[in-house]
């Protein structure tokens, strides 16, 4: 892989740049509002990762519904199990 060309508007940081860097939490609130909010670390696992074989039709149907499709399958399975 070749090294990208030097970008004068985004130079590589030096040790001095890192020493001067401050955490984003020190920015004024009106500037921090522009940063996307992220979720914190999961406190305790609420779901168990497993491998489950499903028919292609089921997977295609739920994937077509967009993000969160696996959670929707979980909700349907809980309802079917009476949970």
The pLDDT assigned to 1 comes to 46
The pLDDT assigned to 42 comes to 80
Q: Looking at the 3D structure of the chain, how many domains does it have?
A: 1
Packing angle, helices 69-80 and 56-63, rounded to 10: 120
Q: Is residue 60 part of a domain?
A: yes
Which CA distances in Å does 15 have to 22, 46, 59, 60? 14, 42, 49, 50
pTM, full prediction? 0.48
The pLDDT assigned to 76 comes to 96
Q: Is residue 7 part of a domain?
A: no
Q: Is residue 22 part of a domain?
A: yes
Residue 25: give the domain boundaries: 15-37+49-80
Q: Is residue 67 part of a domain?
A: yes
Q: Is residue 23 part of a domain?
A: yes
Q: What is the pLDDT of residues 8-58, one digit of tens each?
A: 889 999 999 999 999 988 999 999 888 888 888 888 778 888 999 999 999
Task: Assign 4 a pLDDT band (cuts: 50, 70, 90).
Answer: low
Q: Is residue 3 part of a domain?
A: no
């Amino acid at each position: 892989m070749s090294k990208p060309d030097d970008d004068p508007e985004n130079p590589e940081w030096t040790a001095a740049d890192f020493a001067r860097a401050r955490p984003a939490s020190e920015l004024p609130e009106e500037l921090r509002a522009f940063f996307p909010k992220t979720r914190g670390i999961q406190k305790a696992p609420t779901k168990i990762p497993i491998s489950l074989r499903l028919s292609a039709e089921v997977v295609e149907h739920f994937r077509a519904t967009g993000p969160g499709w696996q959670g929707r399958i979980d909700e349907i399975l809980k309802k079917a199990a009476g949970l």
